[in-house]
């Protein structure tokens, strides 16, 4: 039997799909995932894996194209988040069924933030679905979860990489996946073939749906922000142009565009805070293996890029584990 791993899955929006590739690579190498702690999308992917339904979830999200993601949005009129999240988490509930955390074959902790008491909340028992929903309630995007007097939101607000819950697990290794790395390390987004080009789907959206949706008079400002944020044109990479060596000249690189809406401004601020907090958590409790997924390869909201992000997670995990295993053999 392989070494027992305590797996920590961090927050990072759509980049959380990379956790799927990381888990698959860890298990492919013979490691046994013996316990999991997760935050936000890390809690969602970790909880689903602990329940034994990761393949079902992967199949579902890998089949979502750009328009499918738009259709899953349930705009929250008058709510504390732009999206209620009932459609997305309703589908996850269908995949998992009704199950409590203490019934899971793999011990699991979901970390949320209690805004009322300004403290972390660790879900280690009770309804798995509610724990994941609370942990992934990204401020300004998803509506918070009310539990008695508590208002629960994304655990990344206080602990984007929850290492502490697994420190006492008595596993052989602690592996942590940081989705907020600022290092590129030579990585680029993998190219994965899809049934239909994203560009074609975007053109269909622009011509047939978006003008009517965004052009309504009297539209709620919060809804307008949500749609502007989540329907921004996908960043599609173009193949580099070839040129002769004697024509080489300095290349002007355009500055990245600024926030497209108030929601994007809030979430860019949220990501900056998470990056800083993550470094403190790593310094306080250094994991045996730290898998850094580059933040700049994918925007926080690009939930239609699951196949590429899963493959990216597998690639980064493979390279990191290669280096770790080489160091161990060289001792």
The residues carrying an active-site annotation are 40, 154
Dist. CA 281–CA 59, nearest whole Å? 32
Dist. CA 104–CA 100, nearest whole Å? 7
The sign one gets for the Cα dihedral 199, 266, 295, 14 is negative
Which region, left, alpha or beta, applies to residue 129 given φ > 0 means left and ψ of -120 to 50 means alpha?
A: alpha
Dist. CA 128–CA 134, nearest whole Å? 10
- End-to-end CA, the chain: 22
Q: Which residue is listed with tokens 């997760």?
A: 38
Measuring CA to CA, how many Å separate 271 from each of 169, 185, 193, 268, 278? 29, 20, 29, 5, 10
Residues in contact with 93: Cβ distance below 8 Å, sequence separation at least 6, in sequence order:
129
- The residues that bridge with 290 in the sheet, in sequence order, are 176
């Amino acid at each position: 039997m392989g070494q027992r791993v305590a797996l920590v899955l961090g927050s990072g929006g759509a980049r959380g799909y990379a956790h799927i590739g990381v888990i698959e690579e860890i298990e492919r190498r013979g490691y046994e995932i013996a316990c999991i702690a997760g935050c936000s999308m890390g809690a969602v992917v970790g909880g689903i894996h602990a329940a034994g339904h990761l393949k079902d979830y992967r199949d579902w999200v890998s089949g979502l194209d750009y328009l499918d993601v738009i259709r899953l949005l349930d705009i929250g009129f008058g709510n504390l988040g732009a999206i209620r999240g009932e459609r997305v988490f309703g589908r996850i509930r269908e995949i998992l069924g009704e199950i409590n955390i203490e019934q899971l074959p793999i011990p699991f902790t979901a970390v949320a933030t209690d805004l009322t008491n300004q403290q972390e909340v660790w879900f280690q028992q009770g309804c798995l679905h509610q724990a994941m929903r609370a942990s992934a309630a990204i401020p300004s995007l998803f509506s918070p979860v009310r539990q008695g007097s508590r208002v629960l939101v994304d655990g990344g607000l206080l602990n984007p990489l929850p290492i502490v819950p697994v420190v006492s697990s008595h596993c052989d290794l602690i592996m942590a996946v940081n989705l907020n790395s600022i290092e590129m390390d030579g990585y680029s987004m993998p190219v994965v073939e899809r049934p239909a080009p994203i560009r074609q789907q975007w053109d269909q959206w622009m011509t047939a749906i978006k003008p009517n949706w965004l052009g309504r008079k009297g539209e709620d400002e919060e809804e307008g922000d949500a749609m502007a944020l989540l329907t921004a044109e996908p960043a599609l990479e173009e193949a580099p142009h070839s040129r002769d060596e004697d024509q080489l000249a300095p290349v002007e690189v355009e500055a990245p565009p600024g926030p497209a809406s108030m929601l994007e401004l809030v979430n860019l601020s949220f990501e900056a805070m998470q990056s800083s907090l993550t470094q403190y958590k790593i310094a306080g409790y250094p994991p045996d293996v730290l898998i850094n997924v580059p933040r700049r390869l994918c925007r926080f909201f690009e939930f239609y890029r699951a196949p590429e992000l899963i493959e990216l997670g597998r690639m980064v995990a493979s390279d990191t584990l290669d280096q770790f295993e080489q160091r161990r053999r060289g001792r």
